[in-house]
Chain A
Amino acid sequence: MTETIELALKTLEAQLNQPLETAMEACARCGLCAEACHYYRAEPKLEHIPAQRAEQLRSVYRYEHDFLSRVFPAWTGARKLDEITLANLTEIAFSQCTLCRRCTVNCPLGVDTPLMMRAIRAMATAAGTAPEILVMLADAAIEKGRDPSFYKDMFLEQIKEMEEQLREITGDKNASIPVEKQGAKILYVPLAGAHTILPPAIVFNEAKEDWTLSIFEAANYGVFLADMGRAKAVAKRIVDEANRLGVKEIVIAECGHAYASYRWDVPNWFGDQFNFKVHSLIEVLAEYIRDGRIKVDPTAIPEGVTYHDSCNLARNGGLIEEPRYVLGKITTDFREMTPNKAEAICCGGGGGLVALAEYTERRLAAGKPKADQIKKTGARVVVAACENCRLQIGDLNEHYHLNVRITALTDLVVRAMRLAKPLPGTEADHLFEGEEVSVPRE
């Protein structure tokens, strides 16, 4: 047995807890999960059935753990892990599954196939066969946490410039983007780029919130690698920052995997060190509108708008009604995709896939069911509250000629706030106002 295989098997053993063993054992191979998967919907073939994908790991597990499989491997399809099998498993877990859990929801037994795909990702990462770019991005984030001083001055400089824009847009001379404010109530954690800082800053200022901006970004590539060590190290930067500043609440930018991990996983990783509430920016927007802390024009968005449920926010995160509440307050022509909410179809960009250029073709092909859904609504605007979904739907827009505009929910809320000036880069959005919706519903 080579060192690579040994490491992979050791990692599998280390992960084998009750839920994972259950996922390994429960499948009856009934095949009902097939159409649940966007890969299968786009290209119906055996390899795209979630049960078949999971079977590749099960065969290895059986060989290691099942008496009958060790004696008669062919009887149960058991197989010893070797380099070729590991390479195949890696390919499957990183390029043919976005960890969306739609198969789990549709399985009569509730088999958690994404949990198995995570197990493979962890095995691949430990064995050194995981996509290098994800490892590099995770390591870069960890490095940034070790010595923030390296880029902090530049970051503060950029924030200062953004503050100027903020004042111009809001017409409020006192509007600010506080960074490292001791004792603030909220620590807002953005993504890389001004587009996830300026719109929320407008909202926070308008709501007179006691907030501060994190110097780190919410994305966590360690999560995509299913590498607990790296994922925890990336998250620790923000946990430490929140503890240092004494905030009460962490608000995560519109990002699916970051929300799901900080809301549902990180509290388990840090135990008593984690005494904060975690909210998505979407929940905060809903709360501000509900409490009247920000005023929005209910007729501000006249064009047809549809909402894409990010799998990490909706099915895996429980944020289902909140974005719809917000959209209900700012749009006049909201159109649901079918299916939606917990049954929503994945756009194909999750699980870190948008970062993996080598799988672009596969990703775009798998996104066809989502493209078809969007087309059917006839909407001009697609709202996605997750950066990876937005990037993927943007690519689908181009690839499938959808002729839609993709936007974050916060950007739309800011537009509905009717400020002195539009957000930079969204000036054209205003052209839509009052315009007839020319794309008919099907």
Chain B
Amino acid sequence: MNILMFSQLLALVGFLCGVYGIYRRYAETKRRALPADRSPLKGNPQHGITYAFTLGMMPWAKESTRIHMIAYLRGIGFHVGIFTAIGVLISPFWGPRPEALTLLLTIVLGIGSLMGAAGGVMRLAERNLRGLSHPDDHFAVWLVTVWMAVAALAVWNDAFLVAFYLLSAITMAYIPLGKIRHCLYFFFSRMFFGKFFGRRAVFPHPEAAK
């Protein structure tokens, strides 16, 4: 077994740990009670859920993201990079690939890591963010940022593959342990948001009385 295979094996173990950990979290949360809502509908919870995951995520949909548009778009760029890096990690299509795809992946991952670094610096420099953060928050953002940067390098040059797999092992295994697990609860949270406000016809908002 060469070092590349060993790093791949570690990445696989880390990935499986991450998936198992997230599954455990998911199962634990699903085991908890989900209060039934018997109140008569005014709006439509399904429409609310659709809104929560689509238009409700648009930068203009909320006052907070309108005010902090750049910070929000930075976050979007960061998360697009993360999902691309996961795609690269689990992609079976290593080896020769179109140059344009390599370039695109490198750019997306590179931008993602730059956005991550900006977030990491903001978390240290900005008074409120620094006050809100725990060591876990700082560690998580820098871990993922470095992982994405190495992913960008690995896509561009195979010499970085070992480093990418080793970092992937750590990143994946850490997901269920620290704050990164909010990736799971994002889906729960937006769904409950959509159900609550959709039921009440608040989001999406029809002109109720005409």
Enumerate chain A interface residues (CB-CB to B < 8 A). 16-19, 21-23, 25-36, 46, 49, 51-52, 55, 67-68, 74-77, 104-112, 263-265, 267-268, 271, 277, 286, 290, 314-318, 320-322, 324-325, 339, 341-343
| Interface size classification for chain B | 35 or more
Given the complex of chains A and B, what is the CA–CA distance between A314 and B194 in angstroms?
16
Assuming A22-B192, A325-B209, is B32 touching A16 (CB within 8 A)?
yes
Q: Among B32, B42, B64, which residue has its beta carbon within 8 angstroms of that of A32?
A: B64
Given the complex of chains A and B, what is the CA–CA distance between A271 and B37 in angstroms?
10
Q: Is the CB of B208 within 8 A of A322?
A: yes
Q: Is the CB of B30 within 8 A of A18?
A: yes
B124 within 8 A of A: no
**Which residues of chain B have C-beta atoms less than 8 A from A30's C-beta?**
71, 75, 129
**Which residues of chain B have C-beta atoms less than 8 A from A268's C-beta?**
35-39
**Shortest Cβ distance from A29 into B: residue:** B132
Assuming A19-B192, A316-B200, is B64 touching A36 (CB within 8 A)?
yes
Q: Is the CB of A320 within 8 A of B179?
A: no
Q: Among B179, B190, B201, which residue has its beta carbon within 8 angstroms of that of A28?
A: B179
Q: Is the CB of B35 within 8 A of A318?
A: no
Q: Is the CB of A109 within 8 A of B39?
A: no
Q: Is the CB of A35 within 8 A of B132?
A: no
**Shortest Cβ distance from A59 into B: residue:** B134
Q: Among B38, B52, B63, B203, which residue has its beta carbon within 8 angstroms of that of A271?
A: B38
Assuming A31-B132, A46-B128, A51-B132, is B205 touching A26 (CB within 8 A)?
no
Assuming A21-B29, A112-B193, is B137 touching A29 (CB within 8 A)?
yes
**Shortest Cβ distance from B139 into A: residue:** A75
B87 within 8 A of A: no
**Shortest Cβ distance from B52 into A: residue:** A110
Q: Is the CB of A46 within 8 A of B131?
A: yes
**Which residues of chain A have C-beta atoms less than 8 A from B134's C-beta?**
29, 75-77
**Which residues of chain B have C-beta atoms less than 8 A from A68's C-beta?**
136, 177-178
Given contacts A46-B127, A105-B203, A317-B200, 14 further A-B contacts (CB under 8 A): A17-B33, A18-B34, A22-B185, A29-B132, A31-B128, A32-B65, A32-B72, A76-B135, A108-B75, A109-B189, A267-B40, A268-B35, A318-B201, A321-B209
**Which residues of chain B have C-beta atoms less than 8 A from A17's C-beta?**
32-35
Assuming A105-B62, A112-B193, A320-B208, is B182 touching A76 (CB within 8 A)?
no
Enumerate chain B interface residues (CB-CB to A < 8 A). 25, 29-30, 32-40, 42-43, 52, 56-57, 62-65, 67-68, 71-72, 75, 126-129, 131-137, 139, 177-179, 181-182, 184-186, 188-190, 192-194, 196-197, 199-203, 205, 207-210
Given the complex of chains A and B, what is the CA–CA distance between A267 and B194 in angstroms?
20
Assuming A27-B182, A32-B72, A46-B127, is B42 touching A318 (CB within 8 A)?
yes
**Which residues of chain A have C-beta atoms less than 8 A from B201's C-beta?**
318, 320
Q: Is the CB of B63 within 8 A of A75?
A: no
**Shortest Cβ distance from B189 into A: residue:** A26
Q: Is the CB of A75 within 8 A of B43?
A: no
Given the complex of chains A and B, what is the CA–CA distance between A290 and B209 in angstroms?
9
Q: Is the CB of B209 within 8 A of A110?
A: no
Q: Is the CB of A25 within 8 A of B137?
A: no
**Shortest Cβ distance from A73 into B: residue:** B134
Given the complex of chains A and B, what is the CA–CA distance between A26 and B56 in angstroms?
17
7 A-B pairs in the complex with CB atoms less than 8 angstroms apart: A25-B185, A28-B179, A30-B75, A32-B64, A75-B134, A76-B179, A112-B196
Given the complex of chains A and B, what is the CA–CA distance between A271 and B201 in angstroms?
22
B81 to chain A, nearest CB (A): 15
Given the complex of chains A and B, what is the CA–CA distance between A45 and B56 in angstroms?
28
**Shortest Cβ distance from A27 into B: residue:** B182
Q: Is the CB of B32 within 8 A of A28?
A: no
**Shortest Cβ distance from A277 into B: residue:** B40
Q: Is the CB of A108 within 8 A of B132?
A: no
Q: Is the CB of A106 within 8 A of B132?
A: no
Given the complex of chains A and B, what is the CA–CA distance between A321 and B202 in angstroms?
10
Assuming A18-B30, A75-B135, is B179 touching A315 (CB within 8 A)?
no
B192 to chain A, nearest CB (A): 5
Q: Is the CB of A21 within 8 A of B189?
A: no
**Shortest Cβ distance from B59 into A: residue:** A108
